[in-house]
Amino acid sequence: MEKISVNKFYKPEEIEEKLTKKWEREKIYSLKSDKSDPKYYVLEMFPYPSGEPHMGHARNYIIGDVIAKVLSRKGYNILHPIGFDAFGLPAENAAIKNGMHPRESTMANIDRMRKALKRIGMSYDFDDEIITSDPDYYKWTQWFFLMFYKMGMAEKKEAPVNWCNSCQTVLANEQVISGRCERCDSLVGKRILSQWFLKISGYAQRLLDDMKLLKEGWPERVLTIQRNWIGRSEGAMVDFKLSGSEGISIPVFTTRPDTLFGVTFFILAPEHPLVDKIVESEDYKKEIEKVKNIISGQSDIERGSAEIEKIGCFTGRYVINTLNGREVPVWIANYVLLEYGTGAIMAVPAHDQRDFEFASKYGIPIIEVISPDGESHRKRSAAYSGEGIMINSGKFSGTSSEKGRKDVTSYLEEKGIGKFYVNYKLRDWLISRQRYWGAPIPIIYCEECGIVPVPEKDLPVLLPYDVDFKPKGLSPLFYCDGFVNTTCPQCGGKAKRETDTMDTFVCSSWYFLRYCSPHNDKAAFDSKEVDYWMPVDQYVGGIEHASMHLIYARFFIKVLYDSGLLKFKEPFIKYFPHGIVYLGGQKMSKSKGNIVNPSEIYNKYGADALRLYILFMGPADSPVEWSDSGVEGANRFLNRVWRLVIKNIELIDNIKSTHNERNDPEYPGKDIKDKFKNMKLSRLEMELYRKLHQTIKKVTNDILVRFNFNTAISAVMELVNLIYKYQEEVPDSKKNTSLVKELTWKLLILLSPITPFIAEELWLKAGNTGSIHRVRWPDYDPEIAREELVTIVFQVNGKLRDRMDLPVDTPAEEIKKHVLSSEKVKHYTDGKEIIKEIVVPNKLVNIVVKS
RNA sequence: GCCCGAGUGGCGGAAUUGGUAGACGCAACGGACUUAAAAUCCGUUGAGGUUUUGCCUCGUGCCGGUUCGAUUCCGGCCUCGGGCACCA
């Protein structure tokens, strides 16, 4: 037990360092209790160890930590783990820059990060941390890859892929943001390469359908991002026969089968493999080569912008629109993309703006087939893409466009030339990377046997240490003979290893499973533990992962569910995206130089002030502007709490020895409520007692239900302000020490998840033993929290004219009496006819008069 | 272009179910304490008006509607942020 000494001043630097050690010694960081308690899995997205944690990290982890700490105190068995997403480009680029080996650099960064996390009082059990670049971990990442491979969910295929010239590697679609590399921001080009993909596109519909399981726990805006990314659209797949070549037909996807009669030409993407096959005449071949050259010189961004001029050329061939037997010319054009749909389109210039511009430029006929009013409009200056009535459409003329889509589709199905079709924008997930710092893809290429998966018993395929890891277009492992050359596990003959490594998003798609049994060396995870802990109850992390990690992880879990390994379909029941921290109106970032490092703050004011301010600065899910004076305010509040509590402790100690008859040395009392009932409390004391219970109610609800940490803190501030009022207005000899004790203890408990250090220090200073972080979270008594008096607002015609404090639940008739006798109200109602009197119990009265 | 958010004092924000707009904090100003400063404490702080210790009018992006009553609900617009995007 520590005794009160000279402690007039709050010195965070002294107490925080001391308590960090105490907590580590006493294992206060682990919030696991007992499997008989209800479980709760709180998880924050684990960090890339690219250096010291930044403010965004701090916000993320502090939010998760407060939730975990409160729930643990409410009797939950809490899993609140930490680890490091250690493979990948950021770590590797940083290593190259520093001239260090990625492993050393990563481990050094992890060390700094771990220290910082401990320093800000996070409740992580570091004995259970995981590092994805450890062979113990990536062995199982490789194991999952093999599982996907065996299920037919991983495949090597040739496709146009995104190539980042600066990172010297391919990227997944999700890692290309507006045509630029997610990591280095340089322009991304296209290459046709043979790469490994995970077949996420087959799960598009399931990813959409299962969103209904997330409706409660995920913000709508995140689901919208995913919905947009998956990009479902309904329509028809229609076959167009190539004229003059028996048996060749080209399918196209359209969302508007109702416009089929308006097709006047047909376009293939310039890269479409059919282009070279179908062009016969040498003249056309030359012309096409010319146009293709121009188009391939256009970057993806250029081609993706609507402003760029549409160019193309005729191929000399025709296709037949089976619906009306019309023969239409086949063109190539820059605005048709190989990746989307079938890489070919039917062009309807009257009803598609792009087709309209193209047809106008090249003099292709325009036939109107949808009319808003059923009339034919000879000339238009733009395409009409709205709904209307089908015209010039044979037997379908007169049908509404909505109905026409269905009717035409049925007709196509009957005739066997088309079918209802759902198209998705979601592409397969490209996971190979031509970089060193990642988990090697466990595949062997044998001259005899072809692609051979590495047998499970040979895992992990170790990433060799001694490699020239600088990116050079091909994986650095390709130049590492000791790694590449191997023998075929099937025939024993000479073979070569796959030298690409896996996208780090593969590592992070299952880490939350590993946390359930982090030391298991027999399997990726222990099913019993996963069945107990998973799914994650509360996930916290940046929204920038909405269409990356959060989609990949959902997909991964669905595949594992299908394989029978898991019993749940969604990994994260609730997801809370924290807002970005800004400085000077811009997102804090190293490259812009507008950084406030959390360490600057905790070195100056202490971790508690950092935590308090981060939570107080605004709603946790909205972006906030960093303010230095805001931190000072937080620090001022903590000083205020410190002085208040120290004074209260002294008061309690002094009066204990003078046998004040109102003093009750027992704490916690068996039945606090009865105790106070039998005591005569002054008006202010009653108010304080009530405020305490209201505060407990509000803080608990704001943290656990509303995620409004800022209002939870302002409620505690109000309580502190009121206790100060008591301390200053009432002489010590007249103070009720039982109440002071009750207020002081509970104030500290309410603060303890938010500002763990100061709460613990004051708790100990007051003579308590153990740790405040093991004390049960207080309940509130609704009866005590209930106000006795309530301000009733008197309105006339909806305008506030007077108000009065009346006992709660005063009957309507009595309130009305007060209202009608109010001079102020009379002033507005005298001589006027009262039409209506509205009485809202405990709120207001509104007198409606004729004016 | 389509989809999702948001818009409240000098600033961050609060108002949880349609019922007192501006809680809590920051900044600013005035005062107390001090030789002085820091720290601390007290007071003022949406705008305008006024017969000034009280009261009145206006006020939650803009216009309109529903309602006894709207920051909150509905319709239309504006601005900002975000997602998708020559996506067929």
Tens-place pLDDT, residues A464-483: 999 988 888 889 999 999 99
pLDDT band for A665, please (50, 70, 90 cuts): very low
User: What proportion of chain A, given as a percentage, has pLDDT over 90?
Assistant: 67
Tell me the nt nearest to A705, Cα to C1'.
Answer: B16
> CA at A831, C1' at B67: how many angstroms apart?
25
- The helix/strand/coil state of A436 is coil
Q: What is the pLDDT of residue A851?
A: 67
pLDDT of A1 reads 31
Q: What are phi and psi of A180, to 5 degrees?
A: -120, 155
The pLDDT value recorded for residue A352 is 93
For position A655, what pLDDT does the model report? 66
Distance A228 CA to B23 C1' (A): 39
Average pLDDT, chain A: 90
**Residue A221 CA distance to nucleotide B79 C1' (Å):** 20
Position A356 pLDDT exceeds 60: yes
A180 touches strand B (CB under 7 A): no
pLDDT surpassing 90 at residue A184: no
The region of weakest confidence among A7-21, A123-137, A602-616 is A7-21
Closest residue to B85 (CA to C1') is: A304
Query: What is the average pLDDT across A392-400?
Result: 93
Q: Around Cβ A74, how many Cβ atoms within 10 Å?
A: 17
Q: Which residues pair with A432 in a beta bridge?
A: A502
Q: What is the pLDDT of residue A737?
A: 87
Please confirm whether the linkage preceding A460 is cis (ω < 30° from 0): yes
A294-298, A483-487, A712-716: lowest mean pLDDT where?
A294-298
Look at residue A794 and tell me whether its pLDDT is greater than 50.
yes
Give the nucleotide nearest to A701 (CA→C1').
B16
Whole-number distance in Å between A67 CA and B84 C1': 34
Confidence band of A676 (pLDDT split at 50, 70, 90): low
The enclosing H or E element of A759 equals: helix A756-765
Question: Does residue A5 carry a pLDDT above 50?
Answer: no
Q: Mean per-residue pLDDT for A519-535?
A: 97
Q: CA of A797 vs C1' of B63, distance in Å?
A: 24
- Report the distance separating Cα A400 and Cα A377, nearest Å: 17
- Mean of pLDDT values over A28-39: 92
| Separation of alpha carbons A508 and A49, rounded Å | 13
* Nucleic acid strand B within 7 Å of A155 CB: no
User: Distance (Å, rounded) from C-alpha A347 to C-alpha A327?
Assistant: 13
Q: Examine the pLDDT at A745 and tell me if it is beyond 50.
A: yes
Distance A726 CA to B54 C1' (A): 30
Give the pLDDT of residue A339: 86
Q: How many CA atoms lie within 13 A of A660 on its CB side?
A: 17
Q: How far apart are CA A146 and CA A133, in angstroms?
A: 18
Bases along strand B below 7 A from a protein CB = 3-5, 11-16, 19-21, 23-27, 39-42, 55-58, 68-70, 81-88
Q: Is the pLDDT of residue A778 over 90?
A: yes
What band does A381 get if pLDDT is binned at 50, 70 and 90?
confident
> Would the pLDDT of A670 be above 50?
no
CA/C1' separation A219–B61 (Å)? 25
> Helix (H, G, I), strand (E, B), or coil: what is residue A226?
helix
Q: Residue A300 — very low, low, confident or very high, per pLDDT cuts 50/70/90?
A: low
Between residue 483 and residue 512 of chain A, the positions with Cβ below 7 Å from nucleic chain B are none
pLDDT of A774 higher than 70? yes
The backbone region for A727, taken as left when phi is positive above 0, alpha when psi lies in -120 to 50, beta otherwise, is: alpha
Q: Is A157 helix (H, G, I), strand (E, B) or coil?
A: strand
Q: Which of residues 414-453 of A touch strand B (CB under 7 A)?
A: 423, 425
Cis peptide before A668 (omega within 30 of 0): yes
The predicted pLDDT at position A425 comes to 93
Strands (E) in A595-715, as ranges, are 624-625
* Per-residue flag: A740 CB under 7 A of strand B: no
Task: Select the more confidently predicted residue: A799 or A573.
Answer: A573
Closest CA to A191 of A165, A158, A172, A163: A163
pLDDT tens digits, A140-151? 999 999 999 999
**pLDDT given at position A540:** 96
**Could you tell me which residues are beta bridge partners of residue A795?**
A800, A846
pLDDT band at A787 (very low <50, low <70, confident <90, very high): confident
| Structure confidence at residue A255 as a pLDDT band (50, 70, 90) | very high
**pLDDT given at position A668:** 41
For residue range A213-225, list pLDDT tens digits in order: 998 899 988 999 9
Does residue A335 reach within 7 angstroms of strand B, measured from its CB? yes
Is the model's pLDDT at A596 over the cut of 60? Answer: yes
What is the average per-residue pLDDT within A431-452? 95
Q: Is the pLDDT of residue A826 over 90?
A: no
pLDDT tens sequence across A612-636 = 999 999 999 998 989 999 999 999 9
Is the CB of A235 less than 7 A from some atom of nucleic acid strand B?
yes
Q: How far apart are CA A437 and CA A465, in angstroms?
A: 10
Task: Taking residues A366-381, report their average pLDDT.
Answer: 84
**Mean pLDDT to the nearest integer, A315-333:** 93
Q: Quick one: pLDDT band at residue A39, thresholds 50, 70, 90?
A: very high
Query: Contact at 8 Å (CB) between A572 and A602?
Result: no
Protein A738 CA to nucleic acid B32 C1', in Å? 33
Q: CA of A125 vs C1' of B76, distance in Å? A: 55
Q: Measured from the CB, is A619 under 7 Å from any atom of strand B?
A: yes
Going by pLDDT thresholds of 50, 70 and 90, the confidence category of residue A666 is: very low
Specify whether the CB–CB gap between A359 and A274 falls below 8 A.
Answer: no
What's residue A322's pLDDT? 87
Report the percentage of chain A scoring pLDDT > 70. Answer: 95
pLDDT of residue A799: 87
Q: What is the pLDDT of residue A672?
A: 57
Q: Look at A1-10, A88-97, A373-382 and tell me which has the smallest mean pLDDT.
A: A1-10
**Closest to A544 in 3D by CA, of A590, A579, A592:** A579
Query: Within window 672-701 on A, which residues have Cβ closer than 7 Å to strand B?
Result: 698, 701
Cα separation, A800 vs A802, whole angstroms:
6
Q: CA quadruple A475, A478, A480, A486: dihedral positive or negative?
A: positive
